[in-house]
Structure 1
Amino acid sequence: MDEESAISSKVDEMAVNKITDIETPAISVIQSNNYDNVEKKSESVLTIYENEEGGDATREPASEQPVQSGEDFTVLTGKQKKLVIFTASFASIFSPMATSIYYPSLDTISRDLNVSNTHINLTITFFLVIQGIAPSFVADLADNLGRRPMYIFCFIIFNAANIGLALQNDFRALLLLRVLQAAGSSGTITLANGVVGDITTSAERGKYIGLTSMAFVFGTMVVPLLGGAIGQFAGWHFLFWFLFIFSSAVNIPLILFLPETCRNVVDNGSIPPPFFSKNLTDLVRHKNRRKAGLEYDKMKEVEIRRAYKFRLPNPLSTLKVLGDLESAIILTTTGLSFGCFYAISTGTSKLFHELYNFNQLQISLMFIPFGCGSILAVLTIGKTVDWNYRRHAAKLGIPVIKNRFQDLTNFPIERARIEIVLPAIFMAGTFTIAYAWIMMQKLMLAAPVIALFFLSCGLTACSQVLNILIVDIYPGKPSTATAANNIVRCEMGAVLTAVILPLMNAIGTGWAYTLLALLFMGFSPVLMMLMKKGPEWRRVKKDRDEKSAVGTGDTTPAMTLNECMITIREDSAR
């Protein structure tokens, strides 16, 4: 047997045995060399996999990191994943809802409580501050104890705050209870992103962006309209009674039916959850698996249960994400995006009331263009993200595997994502400037409506793609990555919300929003640098982490497919 036949035989043997003797990424960027036949053979082997929703072979881009060969990333089917993501995303609506439902009534609340608009804006500022900090604690507990117990905790806090807000008539009480409300609602976004990271890979994350963005779109489009109607006809106190009723209606079925997905608690879903994470769907699913003769790894269950215990939340893991240069660039851009969004939303009530003499209901209608622009972004950006991912994978000759962790070390994930982000940034910045000067000139109503539509589309597209990217570079820690994201975007949103009205009063609406847009667009060169340097930074960080892990006796680096092929050739040569 010649050398090429020997190599081919080895690859076939690896495919049949699913490479069970090597913990290796299913894919690595195979550099051009003299082993073209090996590469073609390995690609043909690796691209044969079963579609999660049917059974057809499908080509999609690679994901993030290695798991044991032949092990599905999740035992949930495609339909089950969509239902779980939809439920978790819908539950996260209360974070943007608690803010958006409040916007149309700001002027009314300031008059009723005899305080200025600047004072009322402090209730938004403090809300955003806590909304940024609280998820760090929720994420740490959720990664340790599971998603479901933390959902229960968050909704109890949220509902208690809503009852208090509905009964108070004092600015100080309003401010303190809004802080408590933020602590309860903000964790739901972190938990929802944690669920998505638990059961999806980078290869398929784009197609789920519509579901994960649902809460943001609904919160920006429908909730302000709802808030305006409630405030106009029932009074602003009933806003909080509505939140309490709606939250209770969502919370009960969620507790009963949302399965536990945390990989530190149930692995890929094959291990039965502990008592506090159990629900009806878990009981039925695991009963059906036992009837079908599907066994799970008992040793892994013992290992997971040994680590399953309550400990005080430690936000240091979130701070570690913030301290990473690549993460800091991504999070700062996301923060500027949300800061622009909150600053425009906060100023909308004041501007349309003063310039167009709108009442609460009419002001709430002006948030519809926000929502429509967000819907356009959500409907188009997911497919665009996946298309660009496939395009780069094809350029590099990378095979694609579904429902498996794969190594992104040599894949230009930053370029694949940021190429979509840059046009969105310039679109959002351009239309923010246009909106500012349209309002200064008090043009016909259609003009600010169109500007609001396009700036919302750009801001939503930018933030959603960067949300995917931050999870891409922190596989296995989606809640922690999202918590870090929340800290930056909410604190930057809080700062810009606090300064936008004084800035508008000092230099005018046009120059205030122009300055904001230029600051946002001016960050683009930093993203371009990240496209070039990002893969190198990730490799250095990965090497450092692996050396640290080896030093503590934790684990050894997994062999990549490229290294495996070289080893096979060397063995064959001998």
Structure 2
Amino acid sequence: MITISGFLSPLSLNIYFPVLPVLARDLGVTVSLINLSVTSYQIIQALAPMFFGNFGDTAGRRPAFIICLAIYIGANIGLALQRNYTTLLVLRGVQSFGISGTLAQCYAVVADLTTTSERGKYMGIVGMGMTAGPGLGLLLGGLLTQYFSWPSVFWFCLIVAAAWVIPYILFVPETCREVVGNGSVSATGWNRTVMEWLWRHKDQTEHQCQPQPQKRKFHLPNPLPTLVICLQKDMSMILLFNAILFASIFMVLTTASTSFVEQYGLSQIQVGLCYLPYGVACCITAMVQGRILDWNYQRIAKKIDFTIDRRRGDNLRHYPIERCRLELASPIVFAGVLALVGYGWAIEANTTLAVPVLMIFFVGLFLVGGHTIMNILIVDLYPQSPATAIAANNLTRCLLSAGGSAVVKLMVDAMGHGWCFTLVGGALILMFPILYVLVKKGPGWREERRVKLCKD
């Protein structure tokens, strides 16, 4: 369920790209104006989790998911029915606000249900939906646009969202530890599933003899905790590195769709098919890398004589979690940089189509792998408020990727694909000292933060 929810946000962004020229024609506006709906989507995608991240950590995952999906479904209905550019621009923003709020909740649910020693495997599975979304979204968008009309794209998103949210409301229980603890505290109000409500209503007489759980107060969304996390010493470095990493991936995906059409004469459906190796690479990364991370966690624990508590979770005060995650991230990201540069020069040299497609596969395998590791580390550092921490990550990465997608065409026009992605790869290499500083200084900064929180 959570993997599918994570899939919806990148799907909603990328399924839209094949529709752009058709929308411009039908609404009687230029492609440049239609492109503004993409930029507005990305900006709101960065901001929305700031509100829903903290809300999910305090009010619970279920209220956050349900509100987000309700907004998203309503926006899709409006988008499918609208025939006006201004309405399109507004509703795309509403659509982004709804579905982008679920991103932080997805990782937060994993943090609720898993301990640090086994988190890598499950975070990888959830990340698989998020990273497979771009490739499948482009393919589905091309198919729907070619064989139906552009409103079918929004009807499709609506159907997928409704098929997800109905069983979620009925059956999926609350996981937020602030609300239900380790599962021993009964959920109340809309934190209950429909089935839980029916069961308790049926046995109401029996439960009248037992103490009823206290109803929780409604918490308004608060973006300030997200901004506070962005200013922490270690988190600011992690967020910067991860944002550049994510922006580089997005720049590859953005230029590939244009380059494959202009240089290789592909149709939108064929372009979508070229993204399938990227999706396959993301799936491989999700299945394999998480297990490697968990193995490395156990290896280091054994080496430093650290006892793993699989029941209550580990106290990381005396465990070098930064070293555990980042010593694997460094070589993986370096391999991804080589693929990134290789992709640029393959397009520049106008090689056979198989070469840039293969490079995109390796970008998905390595750069997405490095991005996933950084996401896991962020949750490791903030296990009590994972949605808020991921919201901070989403804020920085989406803003930088929006900027990257805006300037990458100018960079390609000015210096060509080869030097453009050599420059992007060089920027990533220049960030590598950050990883070394985090390994050395991170545990101390983490302890300083813990002591300060205890005093407060």
Partner of 1:345: 253
Note if contact 1:231-1:360 (Cα within 8 Å) is conserved in structure 2: no
Distance in 1 between the 2:172 and 2:43 partners?
Answer: 29
Partner of 1:457: 365
Q: Which amino acid aligns with 2:18?
A: P
- Residue 238 (1) aligns with residue 238 (2): no
Partner of 1:35: none
Deviation for aligned residue 1:214? 3.0
Distance in 1 between the 2:120 and 2:185 partners?
Answer: 27
Partner of 1:546: 454
Q: Which structure carries more helix by proportion?
A: 2
Q: Which amino acid aligns with 1:200?
A: T
Distance 1:282 1:466, change over 3 A: farther
Partner of 1:436: 344
- Residue 314 (1) aligns with residue 222 (2): yes
Deviation for aligned residue 1:469? 0.4
Partner of 1:273: 187
Note if contact 2:49-2:104 (Cα within 8 Å) is conserved in structure 1: yes
Note if contact 2:124-2:285 (Cα within 8 Å) is conserved in structure 1: no
Deviation for aligned residue 1:285? 8.8
Distance 1:503 1:167, change over 3 A: farther
Partner of 1:194: 108
The C-alpha deviation readout for 1:299-334, integer Å capped at 9, x for no partner, is 9x55xx4xx212332111111110101011111122
1:429 is paired with a residue whose SS is helix
Partner of 1:324: 232
Deviation for aligned residue 1:181? 0.8
Deviation for aligned residue 1:117? 4.9
Deviation for aligned residue 1:110? 4.4
Over aligned residues, Cα RMSD in angstroms?
2.5
Distance in 2 between the 1:144 and 1:163 partners?
Answer: 30
Distance in 2 between the 1:103 and 1:345 partners?
Answer: 11
The C-alpha deviation readout for 1:34-66, integer Å capped at 9, x for no partner, is xxxxxxxxxxxxxxxxxxxxxxxxxxxxxxxxx
Note if contact 1:104-1:363 (Cα within 8 Å) is conserved in structure 2: no
Of 294, 317, 328, the match for 1:409: 317
Q: How does 1:250-399 map to 2 (within 5 A)?
A: 250-280=164-194, 282=196, 301-302=213-214, 305=215, 308-399=216-307
Note if contact 1:221-1:372 (Cα within 8 Å) is conserved in structure 2: no
Distance in 1 between the 2:124 and 2:79 partners?
Answer: 32
With normalisation by structure 2, the TM-score equals 0.93
Distance in 2 between the 1:529 and 1:519 partners?
Answer: 17
Distance 1:319 1:158, change over 3 A: same
- Residue 214 (1) aligns with residue 128 (2): yes
Of 1, 5, 8, the match for 1:94: 8
Distance in 2 between the 1:422 and 1:366 partners?
Answer: 28
Deviation for aligned residue 1:108? 4.2
- Residue 174 (1) aligns with residue 88 (2): yes
Deviation for aligned residue 1:502? 2.1
Deviation for aligned residue 1:269? 1.4
The C-alpha deviation readout for 1:473-532, integer Å capped at 9, x for no partner, is 112111111111111111111111111112222222222222222112221111111111
Note if contact 1:124-1:497 (Cα within 8 Å) is conserved in structure 2: no
Gaps of 5+ in 2: 205-209
* Sequence identity percentage: 37
Distance 1:543 1:285, change over 3 A: farther
Q: Which amino acid aligns with 2:326?
A: I
Partner of 1:145: 59
The C-alpha deviation readout for 1:221-273, integer Å capped at 9, x for no partner, is 43322221111211323111111122112111111111011112211111111
Deviation for aligned residue 1:417? 0.1
Q: Which amino acid aligns with 2:381?
A: I
Distance in 2 between the 1:102 and 1:174 partners?
Answer: 12
Note if contact 2:326-2:435 (Cα within 8 Å) is conserved in structure 1: yes
Note if contact 2:281-2:361 (Cα within 8 Å) is conserved in structure 1: yes
With normalisation by structure 1, the TM-score equals 0.75
Q: Which amino acid aligns with 1:513?
A: F
Distance in 2 between the 1:114 and 1:339 partners?
Answer: 32
Q: Which amino acid aligns with 1:103?
A: F
Partner of 1:248: 162
Note if contact 1:95-1:186 (Cα within 8 Å) is conserved in structure 2: yes
Note if contact 1:107-1:349 (Cα within 8 Å) is conserved in structure 2: no
Distance 1:114 1:439, change over 3 A: farther
Distance 1:515 1:171, change over 3 A: farther
Deviation for aligned residue 1:185? 0.5
Distance in 1 between the 2:225 and 2:276 partners?
Answer: 38
The C-alpha deviation readout for 1:336-373, integer Å capped at 9, x for no partner, is 12211222222222111111111111111111121011
Gaps of 5+ in 1: 1-86, 291-295, 549-574
Deviation for aligned residue 1:159? 1.3
Partner of 1:497: 405
Partner of 1:563: none
Deviation for aligned residue 1:466? 0.9
Q: Which amino acid aligns with 1:378?
A: A
- Residue 522 (1) aligns with residue 418 (2): no
Q: Which amino acid aligns with 1:405?
A: G
2:449 is paired with a residue whose SS is helix
Deviation for aligned residue 1:400? 1.7
Distance 1:384 1:116, change over 3 A: farther
Deviation for aligned residue 1:111? 5.0
Q: Which amino acid aligns with 1:512?
A: C
Distance in 1 between the 2:333 and 2:2 partners?
Answer: 28
Note if contact 2:241-2:434 (Cα within 8 Å) is conserved in structure 1: no
1:272 is paired with a residue whose SS is coil
Distance in 1 between the 2:253 and 2:33 partners?
Answer: 16
Deviation for aligned residue 1:207? 2.1
Q: Which deviates more, 447-456 or 109-118?
A: 109-118
Distance 1:435 1:114, change over 3 A: farther
Distance in 1 between the 2:443 and 2:306 partners?
Answer: 16
Distance 1:342 1:114, change over 3 A: farther
Partner of 2:207: none
- Residue 184 (1) aligns with residue 98 (2): yes
Name the count of aligned residue pairs.
Answer: 453
The C-alpha deviation readout for 1:104-153, integer Å capped at 9, x for no partner, is 34444445555555444432222111111111111222222211122221
Q: Which amino acid aligns with 1:366?
A: C
Deviation for aligned residue 1:176? 2.0
